Amino acid sequence: MQIKDVGYEVTAVKPEQYPDRSWPEIALVGRSNVGKSSLINTLVNRKNLAKVGNTPGKTRVINFFRVNQDFFLVDLPGYGYAKVSKAEKAAWSDMIETYLNTREQLKAIIMLVDIRHAPTEDDRMMLDWLKFQGKPFLIVATKSDKISRNQMNQRLQEIRRNLALDSDSPIIPFSAESKQGRDAIWHWVEEQLGGGLPA
Ligand SMILES: Nc1nc2c(ncn2[C@@H]2O[C@H](COP(=O)(O)OP(=O)(O)O)[C@@H](O)[C@H]2O)c(=O)[nH]1
Ligand SMILES: [Mg+2]
């Protein structure tokens, strides 16, 4: 993907605030602190387009970033952050579910898991939903720079097993530090956008 133009578009907490455009959208989901904002910045070659390392759980909104006047990358609130009230958790999952269940422009979903850790119950719930709803999804195993090359395949297999992924479900190791996986993720995104975009 040739990045010609990227920018922050809008922040939303409810559907009326989503961008009023028909561009396709690729959404990122994952636990708080898993590296969603870092992945967006790495993909678009910007240091701080999406704010990284905010107090975990602080991102209570949906941020839309435009790419090349063609499509949006959508940064959803992180789930699974322990130190918030039940009511607040319910509000977040409602925000995430409303977007995922109703947004017609949503073409595909990237789900992030930390390569070092076993997926959580929240991760499994998200994955069950992804399998059920039928849109394409990609698993990205983040922070791959934190483990050795030897550990890598073992960790990927472990995650695959833990999430009961089909053997044809893609899983890509990624590092915002080394940029490992960046090209493969772009390749997948381009496939989802279906060549309907200008070259
Ligand atoms: N070593 C390393 N740290 C990362 C990587 N990706 C994110 N981080 C760090 O993990 C923390 C959370 O990242 P962030 O992108 O804000 O996660 P988000 O809450 O999912 O948006 C920050 O301190 C990042 O610097 C990575 O690939 N490698
Ligand atoms: Mg973030």
pLDDT tens digits along 135-182: 999 999 999 999 999 999 999 999 999 999 988 899 999 999 999 999
**Ligand approaching nearest to the C-alpha of 176:** 1
- Ligand 2 centroid–CA 152 distance in Å is 24
> Can you say whether the dihedral through the CA atoms of 117, 144, 108, 165 is positive or negative?
negative
pTM: 0.94
Residue with token string 């910007």: 46
Mutate to test the pocket of ligand 1, among 32, 52, 55 (most ligand atoms within 8 A of CB): 52
Q: Whose CA is nearest to atom 2 of ligand 1?
A: 143
- Ligand 1 centroid–CA 115 distance in Å is 12
**Ligand approaching nearest to the C-alpha of 29:** 1
- Ligand 1 centroid–CA 142 distance in Å is 8
Q: Whose CA is nearest to atom 12 of ligand 1?
A: 33
List ligand 1's pocket residues with C-beta within 6 A. 30, 32-38, 52-53, 78, 142-143, 145-146, 175-177
- What's the whole-number mean pLDDT along residues 21-39? 95
- What's the whole-number mean pLDDT along residues 17-41? 96
Atom of ligand 1 nearest to the CA of 41: 15
- Ligand 2 centroid–CA 56 distance in Å is 8
pLDDT of residue 71: 97
pLDDT of residue 82: 67
Q: What is the pLDDT of residues 41-80, one digit of tens each?
A: 999 999 999 988 766 555 589 999 999 999 999 999 888 7
- Which tokens hold the place of 198? 């200008």
Q: Decide which of 87 and 13 is more confident.
A: 13
- What backbone phi and psi angles, to 5 degrees, belong to 89? -60, -40
* Domains by residue range for the chain, with CATH: 6-193 (3.40.50.300)
Q: Whose CA is nearest to atom 13 of ligand 1?
A: 35
Three-state DSSP state, 54? coil
Over pLDDT 90: what percentage of the chain?
71
Buried b (16+ CB within 10 A) or exposed e, 125-158: ebbebbeeeeeebbbbbbbbeebeeeeeeebbeb
**The 171-173 sheet, strands edge to edge:** 6-12, 62-67, 71-75, 25-30, 106-114, 137-142, 171-173
**Ligand approaching nearest to the C-alpha of 61:** 2
What's the helix, strand, coil split of the chain in %, to 5?
A: 35, 20, 40
**Ligand approaching nearest to the C-alpha of 62:** 2
C-beta of residue 100 within 8 angstroms of C-beta of residue 72? no
> Can you say whether the dihedral through the CA atoms of 82, 85, 87, 88 is positive or negative?
negative
pLDDT of residue 80: 75
